[in-house]
Amino acid sequence: MQQSITRKEILSVVVPVFNEKEVLPEFHRRISAVAAEMAERFDFEILYVNDGSSDGSSALLGQMQSADPAVTLLDLSRNFGKEAALTAGLDHAAGDAVVVIDADLQDPPELIPELVAKWGEGFDVVYARREQRDGEKALKKLMASLFYRLMQTIGPVKIPRDTGDFRLLSRRAVESLSRLREHHRFMKGLFAWIGHPQTAVFYKRDARFAGTTKWNYKGLWNLAIEGITSYTVAPLKAATYLGFATATGAFVYGSIIILKTLLFGIDVPGYASLMVVLLFVGGAQLLAIGIIGEYLGRMFNETKNRPLYLLNQYFPCEAAADTSRTLPRRKAS
């Protein structure tokens, strides 16, 4: 009697890449070592998403894909940004579970077995939470800490503190994420928004292995604005409260002026206080208009209904190309 063949599960590792030529060889060596250790249970798909690199990373990824049957190469038509690259990787990942990790080796690939173990306990999302952040300036750590605490306060769903994109997602979580197609994407918020059972694994974040970070303070500021405005309407509520407080203050102040005029007559002096009030009210109005403009601009971009990304090429690995083994997944951009 012929025995049925038990197929291995597929574990996909999604790696967004933008100008990481210096670190890619070491990253691939370490992720391949992890794959070898877990080969008894899993077939690995190492899915590199080339997000419009211009430093030779694209050619290097092509060589890696030709040499390693576990490598899937997804080449975007230009640089769409990390959030879009992550979305492209998740859309095309073939795995029963999917790990998201950066290529800079600040997040250790050696932690993946621990993430998988938690997945085996029934969690759909296992996120890696930083206990220590080496190689980062004190100001950057402070700003990151304040940002996460702010998002915990104003967001509709609590985002885990000190947590980046490094995490494992079950197939159910990946399919849930694939239904969220907004253009202004804050992936950390979307990871939390989908719900499903989630848990943390703690680790020490290393310094960047090589190269330079793509995030300067301007980029981090823009990311923070993007995260806040795409994840919550709290700034609009704050503008409403500010307007109400300003109107109330103006009414009280006006009432005092009328009362003083009736009791003591017209007092000519008051230019300074009048200018202060005018500047405050004008500034509050401009701030509120600016906040409304940020949200209006995002609505404008959403109505265009453009694709989140466009592909140049897609080269699936052996496990992903075996359609009898892979699960249905979104291929549209």
| Count of structural domains, the chain | 2
Query: Are 296 and 209 in the same domain?
Result: no
Look at the block and give the residue holding tokens 């500010």. Answer: 242
Asked whether the beta carbons of 47 and 12 are under 8 A apart, the reply is: yes
- State how far the alpha carbon of 7 is from the alpha carbons of 2, 34, 121, 282, 319, in Å: 15, 20, 20, 67, 11
Q: Residues 124-133: what's their mean pLDDT?
A: 82
Alpha-carbon distance of 241 to 304, in angstroms, equals 32
Query: Are 193 and 243 in the same domain?
Result: no
The 3-state DSSP class for residue 164 equals: strand
Alpha-carbon distance of 62 to 20, in angstroms, equals 14
Query: Are 20 and 137 in the same domain?
Result: yes
Give, to the nearest 10 degrees, the angle between helix 271-304 and helix 217-231: 80
Look at the block and give the residue holding tokens 């996460």. Answer: 148
pLDDT digits (tens, 9 = 90+) for 67-76: 888 888 998 9
Report if residue 331 sits inside a domain: no
pTM for this one?
0.71
Range of the structural domain that residue 163 is part of: 9-232+307-321
pLDDT of amino acid 3: 42
Query: Are 311 and 300 in the same domain?
Result: no
Where does the pLDDT of residue 158 fall: very low under 50, low under 70, confident under 90, or very high at 90 and above? confident
Report if residue 332 sits inside a domain: no
Buried b (16+ CB within 10 A) or exposed e, 136-148: eeeeeeeebeebb
Where does the pLDDT of residue 160 fall: very low under 50, low under 70, confident under 90, or very high at 90 and above? confident
Query: Are 216 and 257 in the same domain?
Result: no
Report if residue 326 sits inside a domain: no
Report if residue 204 sits inside a domain: yes
Give, to the nearest 10 degrees, the angle between helix 24-37 and helix 112-120: 40
Query: Are 227 and 317 in the same domain?
Result: yes
Question: Across the strands, what pairs with 200?
Answer: 127
pLDDT of amino acid 332: 46
Query: Are 215 and 285 in the same domain?
Result: no
Which DSSP letter does residue 327 get? P
CATH number of the domain bearing residue 44: 3.90.550.10
Q: In this structure, which amino acid lies at residue 64?
A: M
Query: Are 182 and 193 in the same domain?
Result: yes
Query: Are 218 and 248 in the same domain?
Result: no
Report if residue 29 sits inside a domain: yes
Query: Are 41 and 139 in the same domain?
Result: yes
Range name among 65-79, 124-138, 258-272 with the lowest pLDDT average: 258-272
* Residue 286 backbone dihedrals phi, psi, to 5 degrees: -65, -40
Report if residue 205 sits inside a domain: yes
Could you tell me which residue, 43 or 186, shows the higher pLDDT?
43
Report if residue 272 sits inside a domain: yes
Q: Is the pLDDT score of 4 beyond 50?
A: no
Alpha-carbon distance of 258 to 248, in angstroms, equals 15
Query: Are 87 and 204 in the same domain?
Result: yes
Alpha-carbon distance of 87 to 169, in angstroms, equals 13
Average pLDDT in the chain: 77
Report if residue 243 sits inside a domain: yes
CA angle 76, 159, 225 (to 5 degrees): 60
End-to-end CA distance of the chain: 46
Q: In this structure, which amino acid lies at residue 223?
A: L
pLDDT digits (tens, 9 = 90+) for 208-250: 555 565 555 566 666 666 666 666 666 777 777 777 777 777 6
State the DSSP H helix or E strand holding residue 168, giving kind and residue range, or none if neither: strand 163-170
* Residue 72 backbone dihedrals phi, psi, to 5 degrees: -105, 135
Could you tell me which residue, 320 or 125, shows the higher pLDDT?
125
Q: Count how many residues are written for the chain.
A: 333
The 3-state DSSP class for residue 75 equals: strand
Query: Are 40 and 116 in the same domain?
Result: yes
Q: How many CB atoms neighbour CB 92 within 10 A?
A: 22
